[in-house]
Amino acid sequence: MKLKNILLKTVLPLAVIAVALPLISSCNDLLRNKPLGEQTSETFFQTQQDAIDATNASYQILRDWQVHVFSYLGLTDIISDDANKGSTPTDAPFLLELDNLNYDAGNLAFNDPWTGYYKGVYRTNLAIQNIPNINMDQNLKDRLIAENRFLRAYFYFFLERGWQDIPLVTQPLKPSQYYNQPNATPDSVYAQIIRDLEYGIAHLPEKSQYSADDLGRATKGAAEGMLAKVYLYMQDYQNAQKYAEMVINSGQYSLLADYNQIFTRAGENSSGTIFSVQCTATSTNEGGSQFNQVQGVRGNPNLGWGFNNPSKNLITSFETGDPRQEATVLFVWEELPDGTGRAVHKNPNMVDEHYNQKAFVSDTHPGGQGDGPGNIRILRYSDVLLIAAEAALQNGDAPTAQKYLNMVRSRARGGRTATIGISFENVTPIIADTLKLTQQNGKPMIRYVWPNSAAAQAGMKSFSYQLVNNDSQIFVDTLDIIQSVNGQAVNNTTDYVNAMKNVTPGQNITVTYLEVTQTYNTSTQNVTTNTQTVVSTFPAMSLLPDIKSTGTTLLHDIWHERRSELAMEQHRWFTLLRANKVESNWAVQEMAKDGKTFTQKNTVFPIPQTEIDLSNGSLKQNPLW
Amino acid sequence: MTKNKIQTLILFFILVSWSSVFASVSSQVNNQEFIEKSALSGKNQWNRFANHNLNDSGADLSARRVLQRQTTIQGNVTDAITGDPLPGVNIFVPGTTIGTSTDNNGQYSLNVPENADTLAFSYIGYITQRVAINNRTQIDIQLEPTTITSSQIVVVGYGTQRKSDLTGSISTVKGTDVSRIPTTNVDNALQGQIAGVQITPNSGQPGTPATIRIRGVGTLNNASPIYVVDGMITNDISYLNPEDVQSVEVLKDASATAIYGSRGANGVIIITTKKGTIDQKVQINFNGYYGWQDIQHKISLTNASQYATLVNELNANEGRPPTFQDPNSLGQGTNWQNEVYKTAPTQNYNMSVSGGTDKLTYNISGNYVGQKGIISGSQYKRMSLRVNNDYFFTKNLKVGHNIAYMHDYQQEAAPGVVGQAYQADPTKNPFTSNGDYNNITQNAPVGNPLATIFYNSNRHYANRIVGNIYAQLSVLNNFQVKTSFGLDSWQKDWKTFNPQYFVSPIQQAQHSQLNVNNENSRNWLWENTITYKNSFGFNNVQLLAGITAQGFKDEILSGSRQDIAGNGSNPALWYLNAGNQQSQSNSNAAYNWNMLSYLFRANYNYQNRYLLTATYRIDGSSRFGSANRYGHFPSVAVGWRLSNEPFLRNSEYISNLKLRASWGKIGNDKITAYPGIPTVSSNLNAVFGPNETINYGATIISLANPDIRWEQTRQTDIGLEAGFLKDRLSLEVDYYHKYTDGILVQAPIPAYVGASNIPYVNAASVINRGFDFNVSWDQTVSGFHYTVGVVASTVHNEVDKLGQGQDAIFAGGTGEGGKLATRTVVGGPIGAFYGYKVVGVFQSQDEITQYNDQAVAAAKQNGTYDPNKTYTYEPGAVPGDLIFQDTDGDGTITSTDRTYIGSPIPSFIYGVHLSASYKGFDFSVTTSGQTGNKIYNAKKTARFGTPNFETSYLDRWNGQGTSNSEPRLTNGGMNYNVSTRFLEDGAYFTIRNIQLGYNLPRSLTQQVNVRGIKVYLNVENLVTFTKYSGYTPQISGSTISENGIGQTSTNVLDSGIDHGVYPIARTFSVGVNIRF
């Protein structure tokens, strides 16, 4: 009994305490977990490597779907007169609303780029805020901050041009600031962009100063060129010219001789590249983007989804014989520009089927379709030349304007000065086989004959065809294949180019071509192929002659050159909006030519309704919406 | 917490346990065994839980002081109904501390003072009797059981209690009511059986658990309850075999759940599995059923010619030429739902062996479940084994374990196939003339669902061991020390494989791809409790104290490769080494959390009439920062058993009457493991250099909030329990009021913040209040036994405040552009639907003009009228567009005209249960239903392209007077704004289960040496009565991933939004139950 009482009164309480004590003393350790396998804010932004890693992450967002892929194409090309939605008629109807200019604030296309560009702003803000506190090489530190500030300026430049009165966030927001950001004025946004780019100019190396491994990072020239463009949009032409000429005079850039080469894989980072989003395809999907896939050939060959189709308005807008038309547009039955000999087959489910050749990449890479290797061109040297030209004109210096403009045109001519007024491409094996004209394989066939051109007057015709039964069988209404020029045999497109190099405008030339036509007997379902060799002699026309105009004509010429040179490179819509401010109703007229009704509303994108909702009313919708 | 410290802790507990063993050995000197009958384990089951003994401790000392003048009274105490002897009955002299208790044979002997004139006999579950001694020395007593319900033993947190002593709100479901319903999951079987509990199947996919809400949605976060299976705390009971369930207790109010502290805010479901009983002969039980499932309800979609007609009209409306030359010639076309949803078998076999001696009890069961999904390719198989044993080493020491092992295999339905069946173009054939899968994307950018099924392989395997081992020691008769170590070790492997294939540009793979994932989660729980139990006269006291620690870690290792040898045609090659090494990628991630808790509980009752329960728990959690790491969770409850009062004790009609009230504070910590620490996302790589080198990138793209603290719920509950006519009619009514404060919200933030992940904040307070009813009638009339039970509950859900200067929380992204369909504001329900009210369809340009006049009038009225401006009521509207209500009265439709349009939370949930038996036949029906909620038919709003239409589109406006509710055909635009157009009534009533059984006559079964054979027919989900057009009105919301690893939870901010769920199946089955 006694023992029990002792136990009751002493042992048990002691046992309880004995159990409790170690738990209490150890609990702080038990409960102090750190995230596993992940660095945290406490351990990041400590070392030089962290600064580099964070900066790389700022570049990574450039490859993102939200930033440079689907809706982005909608808000830049499809909405403009350059492109149609593409794909099958009913795929992605919200992009069709953009194409038809009948979108509203609920349109999905406004969400993604808005979100993606602000993600970019956040990443760069974080890096700009934290890198200064890292103990590291000062030059590298300055450069990394400058790279981030360049990228931040790029993100804001897109947002500003699209939405105008946007929240201006220059530091990572605290929780108390999430829901109360107001609209900032365009002036304050531009002021921030200019500060960032000036910092970039001060601290970024020139392209040639970087080590080779850093190819693709933001450069001093990129910051200068971007700032020139910013000033152009602000209509500050003095500064626009100044910064553009800094690029031009830097000796870092030149126009690549062959325009066609720029958009091939080999042409990536060539001499005219000032800034582009670097992509690569790996089998582990780490470095690609979907930029190529969404614009890729839909059907056969199966390269993508076929969005963002060059419009007929764009195709016909090129000056007579402009070789850039052929470099911009990938037509049906055209040989793929990848040397595989494959042609684009007609896909009956597509309307007005043409593809953006500038976004073409072959499927012969280790990544999947969704992991395209093609770099996304952001700023090219010819763009800077055209900025300089336009700014010089506005500054009253037409000769300088002409000089820069004609540099661009000269390169576009590709060593020729004369044209008969056609675009041409190789006869592909499938066409040659279908028409049983295998000896014509590889010869230049006429794709497009400019109206009123010499070739048109001589009776040459654009390629036209009809589809029979399914997508592999065509029958041809007209197909003209060039056989010789001025007696020189033409067995391939190079022969044709070389033959034309010796021709001067006005000179009479003799062109021999094979005209192929087919007739289809609907009752017997028989197809009859007729061929006829035609010899025509007519005066050659001038190809992209140097511009000597001044005043408003020159301004319009520069704008037209900008369209031809930079077609399908996602610049057109903002150019239209800008030009519309310089010359009222310009966009209205231009868009009308493409059958689109441009109204005041279209000068600014609506802010996504979800943003207005989530900001608790502090963010206001643009009054036009 | 280092490993060493854990080991030190374990060592300490072993030492303490040993010292307790030592103490108990020494206490055996004067030991009188006391055995409490556990109603849980059935009549013959003895639980050697040493109880109090009045001859021990202080009481017998006072007895000895009066030794000289005393007489000895002896006798036996039996059950008034069965006549069985009752061991452990308290016998005492009222007003003194003199007393004893009966032995194993119901015998007692007590020395009483000569002046004592009355003896009192009290026993758990029986009506206390006072008997005049009248100089007798032999007094035999028959004790009347209190009513069946009130004598029940109910499992509560860390112990058991008589139902009659409960002060909290706890609902019990018997195991037979769980296993009766042929389903693979315990939670699915509970639907409609518990008042205040809403159970919604997430999907008809085999092997998918349901969403459970207890008393409304008390959080904006994960609102799911926790499960406690034989003491082991877990979030998932998918491993449980319903046949193993002995009972399910749902703890609803704060008095019941506060002992689980930070885990209890959403309610606690305690599941007890079956055990053997002492001195029980071997019992072998076999149960098996085989059934056929088919889709319960198909969505009414347009056929080929209807579709073509609508497409042509849509093209015309959107300025395109017609797609189809002659829609009428197309006929029915392909019914994709018929192609995808097929009849599928389900089967379940269960075998158990149980028994016991006085040294050992055992229950071993094995189970096989095989269920094919109604979508071809989906299936679930589960094999499980359970061993529940108790070993009685000494009279005071019991060691036992409940261990379940499970292996399961799940093939998920191919991702997207439900949506494809809903959207696919009906004018296309599934196959080309060559027998290939047809490219059906010309009109609708929707893949061929049959190809999706064929090319998709998604296989999950899991091995899981859940169980605990415990030692329970009785010390000094009044004390019981228990230590229990539980483990839930879950290894999940899954493989997904896609071959290289091409059907259409949007349905293709250029490379075959294999993904392999291994996930290991380990959840350990160590609980140490001390219980003290004693009675002092009419005062009954029970005290509990404990310390528990729990740790969880989850780790995932995954890899993938492409170009699997032979294009993967042979599953034997579905291993990473069979793929192209160049394409390999891998990842490894983990998270963990730990908890440390202290718990206390006191139960007191006086004369079994006045009841008091107080609990207190302190929880520490690694999820929170050091400043907010500990939470304190008190509760108190009182009860009054009126039926034990003299004025009711002998009532002819009222057999049980109890009032109870409780208040308490509980927490919810169901959020990610490290909500306060921003983490760095890796592999944000850039490409640089002439060779396009991948440059590693990383930064912080997920936000975090270091200041977050516990979410706390204060709950008040007032309850009435009553039994009438010998409990033939029983009734339980509760009023509850839950106030949840500092709710942890992962509220959407504007995109301009730029984050990729949304941080948690303590942002809002929510009230849930309502009534729970539970009424049942139970009667036997000349061999015909029947019961009728009704459970019902009302829920009023209201947000009381939102923090951080928030006026509203928008969520629920739907349709194109992720239009937000819900808005949570003060005064409204959580996740309230928010959108435009549709008042009609513009029939003509004239009507639009009339409405525009309203805009002019409104502008004139508020003085902003400008004659040079044009005023439009609804900008952009053309005849055939919806007319939205101008709720803000400014004469024009803008986003501010959106308004509250309905609640996703039902206001009334109910279930009716009927059962009847006569001779060998038994019959039962279980139903459930709810009203008051809306469902947003989001799948109908997603028209990325021109997918198939619901037939409601046939009623569209296509000319004046054709419709005033369905607008003209478009694929987007204003008619697809969030509006009442897509909001449907979510009320339903479903016949959950019907069963008809027949027990073969004993004369027959005895001939084959079998104790009993029952055959039964069962129908599950026979029919659902609802106006909702979707597959099922039981929409739990969208599934989100917690931590991105494994677990899923349901975000209450987007509940009631139907994005297209795997349809629920109707099942017909036949089964047999044999008892050997």
A residues 17-36 lying closer than 8 A (beta carbon) to B? 18-20, 22-23, 26-27, 29-36
β-partners of residue B386 are B365, B404
More confident: A371 or B1036: A371
Q: What is the mean pLDDT of residues B331-338?
A: 93
B1073 and B287 in contact (C-beta within 8 Å)?
yes
Question: Nearest CA of chain B to the CA of A302: how many Å?
Answer: 7
Q: Helix (H, G, I), strand (E, B), or coil: what is residue B563? A: coil
Inter-chain CB proximity A23 and B315 less than 8 Å: no
Model pLDDT for residues B243-264, shown as the tens digit of each residue: 899 889 888 888 888 888 888 8
How far is the C-alpha of B589 from the C-alpha of B545, rounded, in Å? 37
pLDDT of residue B880: 93
Q: Helix (H, G, I), strand (E, B), or coil: what is residue A242? A: helix
Q: Which residues of A touch B976 (CB under 8 A)?
A: 106
Model pLDDT for residues A252-292, shown as the tens digit of each residue: 999 999 999 999 988 999 999 999 999 998 877 789 999 99
A residues 532-591 lying closer than 8 A (beta carbon) to B? none
Give the rounded percent of residues in chain B with a pLDDT score beyond 70.
88
Q: What is the mean pLDDT of residues B157-162?
A: 82
How far is the C-alpha of B205 from the C-alpha of B29, rounded, in Å? 60
Question: Nearest CA of chain A to the CA of B794: how many Å?
Answer: 32
Chain B residue with CA closest to A113: the answer is: B751
A227 and A201 in contact (C-beta within 8 Å)?
yes
**B731 part of contact set with chain A, CB < 8 Å:** no
Q: Is residue B1046 pLDDT above 70, yes or no?
A: no
Which residue of A15, A33, A94 is in closest CB contact with B593?
A33
The total number of residues shown for chain A amounts to 625
How far is the C-alpha of A583 from the C-alpha of A579, rounded, in Å? 6
The three-point CA angle A249-A255-A256 to 5° equals: 145
Inter-chain CB proximity A286 and B973 less than 8 Å: no
pTM of the model: 0.76
Inter-chain CB proximity A280 and B692 less than 8 Å: yes
Model pLDDT for residues A382-408, shown as the tens digit of each residue: 999 999 999 999 999 999 999 999 999
Q: What is the mean pLDDT of residues B414-438?
A: 90
More confident: A386 or B161: A386
Q: How far is residue A414 from each of residues A260, A324, A501, A561, A564, measured CA to CA in Å?
A: 9, 10, 9, 15, 15
Q: What is the DSSP letter of B980?
A: G
pLDDT of residue B201: 65
Which residue of B26, B590, B823 is in closest CB contact with A36?
B590
Residue B766 pLDDT class (50, 70, 90 cuts):
confident
Computed over every residue of chain B, the mean pLDDT equals 82
Q: Which residues of B touch A75 (CB under 8 A)?
A: none
Q: What is the mean pLDDT of residues B504-521?
A: 89
Where is average pLDDT lowest: A47-61, A235-249, B675-689, B840-854? B675-689
User: Maximum CA pair distance of chain A?
Assistant: 132
Chain A residue with CA closest to B445: the answer is: A91
**B501 part of contact set with chain A, CB < 8 Å:** no
Q: What is the mean pLDDT of residues A48-77?
A: 96
Q: Which of A279, A614, A622 to mutate to test the interface with B (most CBs of B within 10 A)?
A: A614
A residues 263-322 lying closer than 8 A (beta carbon) to B? 269, 278-280, 282-287, 298-299, 302, 304-306
Strands of A367-492, DSSP E: 376-380, 418-419, 422-426, 444-449, 464-467, 474-485, 488-489
Which residue of A105, A125, A215 is in closest CB contact with B689?
A215
Where is average pLDDT lowest: A349-358, B450-459, B645-654, B659-668? B645-654
How far is the C-alpha of B384 from the C-alpha of B367, rounded, in Å? 5
Q: Is residue B410 pLDDT above 60, yes or no?
A: yes
Strands of B669-807, DSSP E: 686-688, 693-695, 711-724, 729-745, 761-781, 784-794, 796-802
Q: Which residues of B touch A278 (CB under 8 A)?
A: 686-688, 692
pLDDT of residue A339: 81
**B433 part of contact set with chain A, CB < 8 Å:** no
Which residue of B445, B622, B692 is in closest CB contact with A88?
B445
How far is the C-alpha of B750 from the C-alpha of B439, rounded, in Å? 39
**B1004 part of contact set with chain A, CB < 8 Å:** no
Q: Is residue B57 pLDDT above 50, yes or no?
A: no
Residue B39 pLDDT class (50, 70, 90 cuts):
very low
How far is the C-alpha of A341 from the C-alpha of B995, rounded, in Å? 69
Inter-chain CB proximity A178 and B750 less than 8 Å: yes
Residue A27 pLDDT class (50, 70, 90 cuts):
low
Q: Which residues of B touch A619 (CB under 8 A)?
A: 750, 752
Computed over every residue of chain A, the mean pLDDT equals 90
**What stretch of H or E contains B16?**
helix B3-27
Q: Is residue A120 pLDDT above 90, yes or no?
A: yes
Q: What is the mean pLDDT of residues B753-765?
A: 80
Inter-chain CB proximity A286 and B683 less than 8 Å: yes
Inter-chain CB proximity B583 and A284 less than 8 Å: yes
Q: Left, alpha or beta for A245 (phi > 0: left; psi -120 to 50: alpha)?
A: alpha
Q: Is residue B1070 pLDDT above 60, yes or no?
A: yes
Where is average pLDDT lowest: A179-188, A602-611, B204-213, B515-524? B204-213
Chains A and B form CB pairs within 8 A to the count of: 369
Q: What is the mean pLDDT of residues A426-432?
A: 87
Where is average pLDDT lowest: A64-73, A469-478, B719-728? A469-478
Q: Which residues of A touch B509 (CB under 8 A)?
A: 368
Strands of A394-553, DSSP E: 418-419, 422-426, 444-449, 464-467, 474-485, 488-489, 508-521, 526-539, 541-542
Inter-chain CB proximity B684 and A56 less than 8 Å: yes
Q: Which residues of B touch A59 (CB under 8 A)?
A: 686-687, 697
Model pLDDT for residues A544-554, shown as the tens digit of each residue: 999 999 999 99
Q: Which residues of A touch B423 (CB under 8 A)?
A: none
Inter-chain CB proximity B750 and A611 less than 8 Å: yes
Inter-chain CB proximity A58 and B699 less than 8 Å: yes
Q: What is the mean pLDDT of residues B524-535?
A: 89
Amino acid residing at B877: A
Structure token pair of residue B306: 């209807």
Question: Nearest CA of chain A to the CA of B761: how many Å?
Answer: 9
Residue A378 pLDDT class (50, 70, 90 cuts):
very high
Which residue of B551, B687, B690 is in closest CB contact with A287?
B687
**B549 part of contact set with chain A, CB < 8 Å:** yes
pLDDT of residue B848: 93
Question: Nearest CA of chain B to the CA of A319: how many Å?
Answer: 31
Q: Which residues of B touch A122 (CB under 8 A)?
A: 701, 753-755
**A176 part of contact set with chain B, CB < 8 Å:** yes
What is the ipTM, given to two decimal places? 0.90
**B591 part of contact set with chain A, CB < 8 Å:** yes
Q: Which residues of A touch B971 (CB under 8 A)?
A: 90, 93
Inter-chain CB proximity A29 and B680 less than 8 Å: no
pLDDT of residue B655: 84
**B18 part of contact set with chain A, CB < 8 Å:** no
Residue B1026 pLDDT class (50, 70, 90 cuts):
very high
Residues with Cβ within 8 Å of residue A524, at least 6 apart in sequence = none
pLDDT of residue B634: 93
